[in-house]
Chain A
Amino acid sequence: MVDNLLGGVDLVKTDKVPKLELGAIETNGQLVTTGLGESMGILQLRREAWERYKASSIPSMMDEAWRFTPGELFLSDAMRNKLHTIYDANESVLIPSILTSSIPVISDLMCSCKEDHSVANMPKGIDLRLICDAISTEDAFAESIFSDPRPKDKFDHLINSLFTDGVVFKASKNIKVSSPVGIHSPIPAGQVKVGRSFLQLEEGSESDCIFWIDGGSDDAYYFGWVTVDVLPNAHMKLTVFQMADETSSILWRLRGRVYQDASLIINVINFGGRVVRNELNAEVLGKGATAQLFGLTLGSGNQHFAIHTLQKHASARATTRLRFKQVFTHQSKGVFDGLIYVPPGAPGTDAYQENHNLILSKDAKVNSIPRLEINTDDVRCTHGATVKYVLPNEVFYLRSRGLRESVAKHLLVSSFLEEMTSKITVESIRDYAERVLEDKVRGGIS
């Protein structure tokens, strides 16, 4: 399916990657990855995380956030069996030319080689490395990964114990990066990919990142956790472009923190995957901080998408915005579960949340749960949700102008979603996203 969608886009083969000393060691039945050049201390922290993973229970369907996407979907026996295999290090990393031809890009696979030609072209003031390099050279950073005090669930422990892929991206103080930076996150075929990435913008810096997820054929799994910190006065744009194979299962978490007068704009575009669960958390921690979350989901076939968002107002006088649009056709299913949370003592909060869904077939299903929990009185919090179909009078209008019915429908659906693709800053990627969108919409309209 992915190949199909890529239609016409060439894949660039990077140089053959060197075979890494990757080994999965079994100690008392525990699987611990090594070969990342980690210290024994880190290995110990991974073992502890693995123990916690084993000790913690699968989130129950009684838990509101897991009601429509049971945790067992990701912790299946098939996944457990795959955990015991390791990447074929001889496999080449393929970066879509759509990325390499327009922006500097790094592939987050552990085995991708450091001398990757495109990484060398990183703009000045940008520190972009593979997570394994960062861990092996900076012990303090490595330990901080594990000591993050935010509460963790079973999947967090799984990711902490086994992550091998990911990048560390840092923009130095007051650096304004003119060109967007690409992070390519391919899911190896038939494998379990576990990744942690860190994106950090220092004070006053500005940057634009594109996080590209693809691959994932042969029932692959992807457990990903991305931490985004936008320090005071910094501004970040992050586009997540997910077009993995329609046999893959993806559990992907983004946890963003936005400090005083800083801003974070996230745009998540979901095309691929069989079961996709996105947890997008944006926490505003300082006065004047702004977080904006946008998203587009286009489900077809038997795809299942679960988008869980959190807009957390940990500080007074901060703003969050959210706008998610989803279209479902064939037997696809979608869940949007968004929460605006305002703890006590956050006056001046301004939060908005919007979710719009379009159903294109009789077997498609949508659940929309836009939630609010407000504990401060001086706030403005609003939300809205709609579920609609392609309205006959709109189709009729276009037909009366001479368009065929299928074309009219196509136009209406594309225009519904185009708002989100048009936010992509890189022209070639935007065009590409629009082409994929057109293809999928065409396939979804009978």
Chain B
Amino acid sequence: MENVNVNELAKAKAEYRYGFFDEVEYEFKPKKGLDSEVVNMISDIKGEPDWMRKFRLKALEVFWKKPLPTWGADLSALNFDEIYYYLKPKAERSRSWDDVPEKIRNTFEKLGIPEAERKFLAGVEAQYDSEVVYSSIKTDLERQGVIFMTTDEALKHHPDIFKEYFGTVIPIEDNKFAALNSAVWSGGSFIYVPPGVHVEIPLQAYFRINSKHAGQFERTLIIADEGSFVQYVEGCTAPIYTTDALHSAVVEIIVKKNARVRYTTIQNWSTDVYNLVTKRAIAHEDAVMEWVDGNLGSKVTMKYPAVYMVGRGARGEVLSIAFAGNGQHQDAGAKIVHAAPDTKGRITSKSISLGSGRATYRGLVKAYPGASSIKCNVECDALLLSPDARTDTYPYIQVEEEYAQIGHEARVSRLNDEQIFYLMSRGLPKEEAIAMIISGFIEPITKELPLEYAVELNRLIQLEMEGSVG
């Protein structure tokens, strides 16, 4: 197979269709950098209760004390003093689509959120920088008692349930970026599903960063009460800038007895964004938690969705796909923690490295003492498409329990010449043959995505591949 043409790829990358941005007027721009003044200001603007202000200030202290991780991706170019920690777009929050300012609407249109989609999809929450500007909740959801709003709103309208769960899955002290998010969080989604309620349509939110140096620190909290089911879909695209931006979200999920939550993310930040996200779910008795995680964009991603299984019979699954193009480092993976008996976990990870891209799988499977009769299986496949590409696998298996069955396997290979030849002998041009093989490679993930996301993912990958092979 001929080598992938890196220049062609760079060109394809530059013509990347989400690489546009609009000039948006910001009514408020605090100074760059972070101190207690900024944190207090965020709390003031939002009119938060005192406990939240204290929480933020405590988190700020922890953030200063915590060192940057010594492992994983290179974060040396990240300058915390060059980042705006809070931005508020001019638009007030709107109930109907028509009220959304035109410029912002244009961006969404280019993003491909058509009117049809608005009709078909459930409550679309679109986050434009740090504030939710558009939010509509289907009335039937409200009738079922489902709470679906921005995290800021939830703090105001449902303070009791908010306080009960907020920060319980990912404590401030967890890591430097969780502390940062805790100090300056803004926006994000809050979902509460009452016992026994099945939310049939996936809840969705689109996120965008659209200001130079804008950091986006959304905070998502999902509580699925006993016997309920909800699927949440989060897609991110961001316009291209020449300087580095930071995205550092925290997602906390509580899956109670017999409940099931599926959280799907397709991340396609522009290739100058640092995407350092902490995502964790707690699964109680017989609960099911599934993460479907796609990492396509960003300069550096460090993201390891975790499932802590604390109740007997809980199940956790992570499906992860990473695509590392030129200059990208996708340090993604998963954590499965067995803290109760009869729990089952599964991790399926697929990665593709192209140009000088580097895809890393970093995972943890842990069995605590007493978590007997547990099973966990990990499978990692990596595909290398150019001689300069790099892939790493760092799986950690820590077992402190006798009755545990854990398996891990990983494979690294390049495109199989024989497969390409076979498809070409059937009349397919080389590029199509390669695209077909790649689609097949990521199929275990795409088949778990909502249809429009599966189509979009395949389209995005084809776009990345365009002109780069053959």
Contact = CB atoms under 8 A, between A and B. Distances in A.
Contacts of B388: 344
B384 A386 contact: no
Contacts of A359: 399, 401-402, 404
Contacts of A278: none
Interface string A383-402: 11111110100000000000
A373 interface: yes
B408 interface: yes
Interface stretch (B5-13, B110-118, B239-247, B411-419): B411-419
A360 interface: yes
Contacts of A364: 402
Contacts of B391: 372, 374
Contacts of A372: 382, 391-393, 410, 412
A376 B411 CA distance: 14
Interface in B374-405: 382, 384-405
A14 B398 CA distance: 46
B407 interface: yes
A6 interface: no
A379 B412 contact: yes
Given A344-B387, A362-B369, A371-B395, A382 B410 contact: yes
Interface residues of B, number: 36
B409 interface: yes
B233 interface: no
Contacts of A419: none
Contacts of B435: none
B406 interface: yes
Nearest to A388: B405
In this complex, the interface size class of chain A, counting residues with CB under 8 Å from chain B, is: 35 or more
Q: Chain B's interface: helix, strand, loop or mixed, by majority?
A: strand
Contact of B402 (A362, A369, A379): A362
A361 B402 contact: yes
A161 to B, nearest CB: 29
A370 B403 CA distance: 21
B402 A382 contact: no
Contacts of B400: 365
B76 interface: no
Contacts of A383: 393, 408-410
A373 B384 CA distance: 12
B96 interface: no
A377 interface: yes
A362 B341 CA distance: 13
Contacts of B367: 387
A385 B394 CA distance: 12
Contact of B399 (A344, A357, A374, A380): A357
Contact of B390 (A363, A374, A380): A374
A377 B385 contact: yes
For A347, A357, A360, A387, the residue with the greatest tally of chain B CB atoms inside 10 Å of its CB is: A387
A62 interface: yes
Nearest to B3: A377
Contact of B384 (A365, A377, A389): A377
Interface of B: 70-71, 367, 369, 382, 384-414
8 contacts: A359-B399, A362-B401, A367-B397, A377-B385, A378-B387, A379-B413, A384-B410, A386-B407
Given A379-B384, A386-B408, 12 more contacts: A365-B400, A372-B391, A376-B387, A377-B387, A378-B414, A383-B408, A384-B408, A385-B408, A385-B409, A387-B367, A388-B404, A389-B404
